[in-house]
Amino acid sequence: MDDFEFSGHYIDDDFKELPLRAFRTRDQDQATNAEDVLFDMFKNEETGLISVGEFLAALRITGLRKNDPRLQEFTDNLKKEHIKNSDRTKAISHETQKLDREQFRRIINPNIVLISRAFRHQFIIPDWSGFTKHIEDFYWKCKTNTEGKVASYIPQLARMNPEYWGVSVCTIDGQRFSIGDTSIPFTLQSCSKPLTYAIALDRLGPEVVHQYVGQEPSGRNFNELVLDYGKKPHNPMINAGAILICSLLKTLIKPEMGLAEKFDFTMNCFKRLAGGENLGFNNAVFLSEREAADRNYALGFYMREHKCYPEKTNLQEVMDFYFQCCAMEANCETMAVMAATLANGGICPVTEEKVLKPDSVRDVLSLMHSCGMYDYSGQFAFKVGIPAKSGVSGSLLVVIPNVMGICTWSPPLDPLGNSCRGVQFCEELVHEFNFHRYDNLKHATNKRDPRRHKYETKGLSIVNLLFSAASGDVTAMRRHRLSGMDMTLSDYDGRTALHLAASEGHLDCVEFLIEHCGVPHDPKDRWGKRPVDEAETFGHMQVVEYLNNYALVHKTELENKQDECIDDDNESCRKPPETAVQP
């Protein structure tokens, strides 16, 4: 890796245990590593220091938050540096301090791979700010939707404010975005069903689980007293199936545990899915659910009559456990991470812990796709085409496999029990983006694909680079270089970024291109004009002087090198013998 040169290609993501190497300039002793490139991108030109606050703000634009667990070492190092230098710098907090190059390199080094990936736009959604603008548009469009009624079968749900409306997004790379009432807790209700099913699959395997519960849509109401032809609940996403899944968790997984221990075990599993984020329990909702559960008790006894449960099942304990799972409490932020863990094959994006097996997640998403939206499941699968699960608290857990998880929350429900705003948001999402499972990623020209880079073609890359040079935007040019762009690219007329920067008199851009990017100082366009000619034409004498001086130094270096090569004993100057071409 010591001879690695960054030649216009992205560094492979699979090298995390190897040191992240420098971009090598024309003169190899001026090699600059990724920490230096980032420092140069954000440093203040006058003071030569980098503002931590500005750097964290730029990091947030890529989708990473400062409290991301994967950036813990970076944050700890910032705090230690602040404590060490607080008397001298007078910075109020670790986020207001300013760092020199060596401090920055030392602090950022433990997390340089993740941070450099963020600024190279190598996450699943490269243009995160552009994508989130669409999410904001969908949010405000859906906020005007006043249809539906808040669930009222228990008083605790009926008291929810119908104006509450929140959306949180978490990608498989841990990019986060939230808008609206995303920190207000709500009970999981039926959104707990895919989670308990996932735990059962992971611990017991699909063969055991599906001895007791089916995999088909019921075609009936979610709480109807009906079993399939094998005398099993139709699927784990309806009430009968979820109760039976809870009996498997209670009876077959660590049967030595009591009800309290099994509750703690399940909540711990949920927390791991959520990356350790906020998760609680609403006892008032639990007690009300249990008091207003005539239909659920009827389902429980009906299944016991048909011997649906495993042996030694205590029905009362199973029913309490089911109500407890429904009464667990989270917010949009937490649920979005859970959904992202499902989207990421069971690996939590923010902690990188493998919580579930990929096969278990596949089965969960399959049934969410076909059975997750109560009696609207078929139409939702047809119109929206992504796995989702709704709950009567107004929550909607949405999974876009291999891309992201989304949670929406709005208490007003349609007649089928789904959040009116949540369903509309999903329809807006797949109308704009090709997230429907059967959208063609190549030929669906009427939809956007946020997974593609904004400037993916060479032609657009050239336009973007030349525009940055012409406008004197050194920061943008640093980003182009960091992302691996070939800084010598030219347009149809052979004009390079150096031509444009010279013709507009942007001396800082000219210096950056030559000294840091190592571009040739005298390329000719189709009319034979060099950058120095452009600068002379438009009267930018500082640029002319700089280019002429550089050309003179460059010529002297070449002459000195040629003088060294006159000596026949200098092995490095000898040309290798030409190899004869075989006929």
**What residues are annotated to the active site?**
190, 193, 322, 374, 392
Whole-number Å distance between alpha carbons of 61 and 59: 5
Q: Enumerate residues 6+ apart whose C-beta is below 8 A from 398.
A: 339, 386, 387, 388, 405, 406, 407, 408, 426
Tokens in use for 367?
């049934």
Q: Enumerate residues 6+ apart whose C-beta is below 8 A from 242.
A: 190, 192, 193, 196, 197, 236, 322, 325
Q: Are 245 and 196 in contact (CB under 8 A)?
A: yes
- What are the helix (H) ranges across 174-282? 193-204, 206-212, 239-251, 259-273
Whole-number Å distance between alpha carbons of 365 and 369: 6
Angle between helices 294-305 and 315-326 (to 10 degrees): 140
Whole-number Å distance between alpha carbons of 447 and 430: 8
Whole-number Å distance between alpha carbons of 401 and 385: 11
Look-up of token digits 């139709």: 234
DSSP 222-243: TT-S---TTSS-S-TTSHHHHH
Q: How many residues does the chain have?
A: 583
Whole-number Å distance between alpha carbons of 239 and 414: 19
Give, as one character, the DSSP assignment of residue 492: T
